[in-house]
Structure 1
Amino acid sequence: MMQILRKELKMALKPRITESPKVRLIDLKSKPFFIVASVEVGNTTTKSILTATNMDTGRTHIINKVVRMTRDVRPPKPGEVVFGKTLTGVELTRESVAELVRDTLTESVERANLDIKTDLDFVVRSTGVVAGFDSPDEVGEFIKALADGCLMAGVPPKNMTPPMSISNISKKFQKYSKLEEVIFDGAVASVTPPIGSTGVEIVANEMEGELATAGIKEAAQLTDVDFRNPCISIDFGTTLDGRITSPDLPYAKTIGNFCGYAGAIPDAIVRGSRIVDSKVGTALEILEKEKTPSFLTLKMKAKTIESFAKRIHELIIIEKVPRNRTRYGSVPVRPDAAEQIGVILIGCDVGENGSDMGKLSAIGMEICKTHGLQVVYAVIDEVMAGVACRLIKVAKEEGLIFEDTTIGFTGRAGITGNKPKLILKCLDELNIAPKIDERVVFVDDGLARGAAVMARCMNSLGSPQHPLGGRHGGKCILAQRVKLQKR
């Protein structure tokens, strides 16, 4: 991995990193923009991100984003039922989550000078807070709390559910909707979700993976990478999520899912620095203010960085989730149900359900005391790039990678700093494909972009000239969908 320090890597492999294009308020009012709010309560942050999709071009723009720390949610009041906790132990009730969502969404819409009742076309809710739940089924209660918050903010109920007929869609978008030809059948960006034979979800944060996959597909349109099926999406938020899809038409199957820890790993490392709170502090708080390690620093400290990264990786387990586990990396899972439908769960853990997180903090303290934050930053980049490549390696060993599979990364612990360059170098060494940099994308705000895609899917708002579904190089799958649904 430390070959990234060589001069020749200054270099041939170039990460394709998308950035969110902005849009002006005057254009929102005058052009056919479908405006969606993505509301997410995660382990670390709670976000409301407003996106606007131009239905003529199919391109999604970011209007604004409001980000709050989830740990700042108000404590439970007497009589309220605690139904879950974040990874750092912050207790959550239906009422407190609803209030947090209401305030975050309201601020986001007001900042954009929009009216929540008349300008907002759809709201998609999701959560990454699954570590404190006992089963995937309990995520449903959290989604209800998110809905409560949206309703308290003034979102009309019809803007959170699929329309029953084209008459339920705003008149300005009816000409773009294919609802009279195809209905929303659960496939988002032409991928069907993995549901066990008993109807249960096989991993608690399945929706996160669904949105991340759709969002990476949308963002990849800003690059020269055709990120349609088959593909691999990996979201490095606090918890790990993502999907591996098949090349089937018109809908790809989900043949792999990721779960466990992601951003929680660098969070644990920086907590040992004592610069952030030792219990609820995050890498986000210090590394976004710290400059990326210079080439000189990386070169002079190469052996030190490599040594610490190796020690940390000895504590990280990445594998196919064993059949007897009900929780992996603190995330509720059903590997038995996954096996029944041919889905491989790939997990990332630190010890067993985070039992060795304290050891990561101890190493973080050692690095900070002896070498400083710049080396902490470099070690985290090296570690997370290694995690990404180990995940892909397991997918390859399980036969989940096809000759034309593309790979996409999103989330704070996968696309910041030098991680994209390190990941590309490592993937190149895995010999997955020639010119690996032409098959990999790094995407900002993948989940929010995915929410915009899901909203369009629910409303059957297509852009056949810029298809997200289907296979690489193929045409729009609308005709195949029509034929399938008629059958």
Structure 2
Amino acid sequence: MGPFYTVISVELGNTTTKCVLMTTNLKTGIIYQIEKEVQYTRKIRPPHDNESVFGSTVVGVELAHNSVTEFISKMVSDVVRKSRLDIEKDIHFVVRSTGVTASFGSPEEVHGIIKALADGCLNAGIPPQKMMATLDPAKLPPGLQDYSWLKRVYFDGAIASCLPPAETGIVANEMEGELVTAGIKGASKGTQVDFRNPVMTLDFGTTLAGRITDDSYPYAKTIGSFAGLAGAIPDALVRGSGQVDPQLGCTLDLHASSQAFSASINLEWVEEISRLIRVQRLSKGTNRFGTVPVNPQAATEANVVLIGVDVGRNGSRLSDLEGIGGAIFKESGAKGLLTIIDYVQLRVLQRILTVAQENDLVLRNTSLGLTGRAITSAGKPLLIAENLHLADGSLWVAEHPVLFVQDGLAMGAAVAARCMNSMGTPHEPLGGRKGDRCIMSAREKVQKKKKT
């Protein structure tokens, strides 16, 4: 048993905010969840009259620095209290991330929210050094120093052997894509799937995040990135049902009496909804897609294909989806509406895969990893396994692995924290290519060349 490396993931999302306490067995690389707190982001108190609004969610929940800080501080405190762990002795690292990008003018503006998350952690008693990587293994807890490789390699920006894009600021939620990719790799250690490069990862939260990597060695390059709307699409359909809040309601608020995918449905609704949804490679001149700030010019310069999902222009036709959702609910009830949503999300994923293939991003051994409430819930995993296909008509699962992961971003926080402190498991590697050995010696050679 053990030793264990314990990390808190703090994620401010458009619909939910999560604080997840994860720990990793440094001998096996397997990640375990210790405690979890999930709250609706809409529960963050409104800004006071004397507070400046620095952002808002996709559905318009306004955020101020102090309101976010207070909300996060309580969530972190609650998770630590329920876990019965000691912050100083038992918590090793805290990772902060956000998908709330709709109100920003550029990808760089996300830093204000990240700072509010940091202040919330500090107010909960998290020491600042637990939010920063160390370059000195002697500064790690004594029981963990023997499991760090900092004496041989340093952190050079690669997370789970994937380099970030050469150009920064391609998409506002780039960090989410990085964490999700790392998290799905980490989750695979509890399965029989070798989920190493090349991979395609997608997080269907309210907005879309993810990456596509190639099979370069020892570090994979990011060759694809995602932006736009994901869970916001089914949320709009559900808001039209009259069963949830018409402005802030989401799919999580609508409940059916039994498993939704057992319902009989009219698939013509799927066609009508799909006609409102755009899935495409983003071209130069676009600065926002699906409400998310993007920079296709930077993507081109970094040799990254940026793929986006939108409804109208920056969600301009989400209200049309609400009307369709109301009609479906009237015809088929909650169960029928939720079943239609499963088919709609399958169609969105299929279109994303088609665009990726058209741009030569899917290699012969690319694995697919999916996480997020709008792609892993209800009947979607079964529908995807039975229907997602390649351009030649063959089923994806007949040629490539697919992995569905809960809380992929939180798992990514656990992996990223280890990477930043060079705490890999060479005998159970996350990095490198499928079937290959650990990349440690290759990393050493690369870093020695950089020094000379």
Residue pair 1:38, 1:124 contacting (<8 A) in 2 also: yes
Unaligned runs of 5+ in 1: 1-26
Indicate the residue corresponding to 1:474 in structure 2.
436
Distance 1:150 1:290, change over 3 A: farther
CA-to-aligned-CA distance 1:426-472 (integer Å, 9 cap, x gap): 32354467753751111111000000000000111111111010001
Residue pair 2:197, 2:366 contacting (<8 A) in 1 also: yes
The one of 18, 42, 52 equivalent to 1:47 is 18
Distance 1:162 1:40, change over 3 A: same
Letter aligned with residue 258 of structure 2: K
1:207-226 to 2 correspondence within 5 Å?
207-226=175-194
Residue 418 of structure 1 and its aligned partner are, at CA, apart by 1.2
Letter aligned with residue 313 of structure 1: S
Residue pair 1:255, 1:342 contacting (<8 A) in 2 also: yes
Residue pair 1:195, 1:202 contacting (<8 A) in 2 also: no
Indicate the residue corresponding to 1:385 in structure 2.
346
Indicate the residue corresponding to 1:15 in structure 2.
none
Distance 1:309 1:54, change over 3 A: same
Distance 1:416 1:451 in 2: 22
Residue pair 2:282, 2:296 contacting (<8 A) in 1 also: yes
Alignment of 1:344 with 2:305, yes or no, is yes
SS of 1:280's partner is: coil
Residue pair 1:225, 1:438 contacting (<8 A) in 2 also: no
Indicate the residue corresponding to 2:448 in structure 1.
486
Letter aligned with residue 446 of structure 2: L
Residue pair 2:55, 2:62 contacting (<8 A) in 1 also: yes
Distance 1:409 1:434, change over 3 A: closer
Residue 221 of structure 1 and its aligned partner are, at CA, apart by 2.0
Residue pair 1:166, 1:177 contacting (<8 A) in 2 also: yes
SS of 1:361's partner is: helix
SS of 2:363's partner is: coil
Residue 340 of structure 1 and its aligned partner are, at CA, apart by 1.1
Distance 1:194 1:41 in 2: 23
Indicate the residue corresponding to 1:255 in structure 2.
223
Indicate the residue corresponding to 2:367 in structure 1.
406
Distance 1:313 1:359, change over 3 A: same
CA-to-aligned-CA distance 1:186-207 (integer Å, 9 cap, x gap): 11000111142xxx31000000
Residue 379 of structure 1 and its aligned partner are, at CA, apart by 0.2
1:269-284 to 2 correspondence within 5 Å?
269-284=237-252
Residue pair 2:387, 2:395 contacting (<8 A) in 1 also: no
TM-score by length of 1: 0.90
Indicate the residue corresponding to 2:382 in structure 1.
421
Distance 1:273 1:118 in 2: 49
Could you tell me the percent identity over the aligned residues? 49
Distance 1:262 1:76, change over 3 A: same
Indicate the residue corresponding to 2:286 in structure 1.
325
Residue pair 1:470, 1:476 contacting (<8 A) in 2 also: yes
Distance 1:87 1:327 in 2: 13
Letter aligned with residue 267 of structure 1: D
Alignment of 1:113 with 2:80, yes or no, is no
Residue pair 2:390, 2:396 contacting (<8 A) in 1 also: no
Indicate the residue corresponding to 1:436 in structure 2.
398
Residue 134 of structure 1 and its aligned partner are, at CA, apart by 1.0
Distance 1:187 1:290 in 2: 45
Distance 1:134 1:290, change over 3 A: farther
Alignment of 1:185 with 2:156, yes or no, is yes
Distance 1:107 1:470, change over 3 A: same
1:12-411 to 2 correspondence within 5 Å?
31-196=2-167, 200-287=168-255, 290-293=257-260, 295=262, 297-298=263-264, 301=265, 304=266, 306-411=267-372
Residue 344 of structure 1 and its aligned partner are, at CA, apart by 0.5
* Cα RMSD, aligned residues only: 1.4
Letter aligned with residue 335 of structure 2: Q
Deviation beyond 6 Å, 4+ runs, structure 1: none
Distance 2:382 2:415 in 1: 28
CA-to-aligned-CA distance 1:220-239 (integer Å, 9 cap, x gap): 22222211101100000000
Distance 1:316 1:426 in 2: 20
Letter aligned with residue 439 of structure 1: P
Distance 1:465 1:123 in 2: 26
Letter aligned with residue 124 of structure 2: A
SS of 1:469's partner is: coil
Letter aligned with residue 225 of structure 1: V
Letter aligned with residue 403 of structure 2: V
CA-to-aligned-CA distance 1:322-354 (integer Å, 9 cap, x gap): 211100000000001111111000000000000
Distance 1:372 1:202 in 2: 41
Letter aligned with residue 349 of structure 2: A
SS of 2:209's partner is: strand
TM-score by length of 2: 0.97
Alignment of 1:459 with 2:424, yes or no, is no
Letter aligned with residue 245 of structure 2: D
Distance 1:435 1:128, change over 3 A: closer
Residue 77 of structure 1 and its aligned partner are, at CA, apart by 1.8
Size of the aligned set, in residue pairs, is 448
Distance 1:192 1:70 in 2: 31
SS of 1:175's partner is: helix
SS of 1:171's partner is: coil
Unaligned runs of 5+ in 2: none
SS of 2:67's partner is: helix
SS of 1:67's partner is: strand
Residue 106 of structure 1 and its aligned partner are, at CA, apart by 0.7
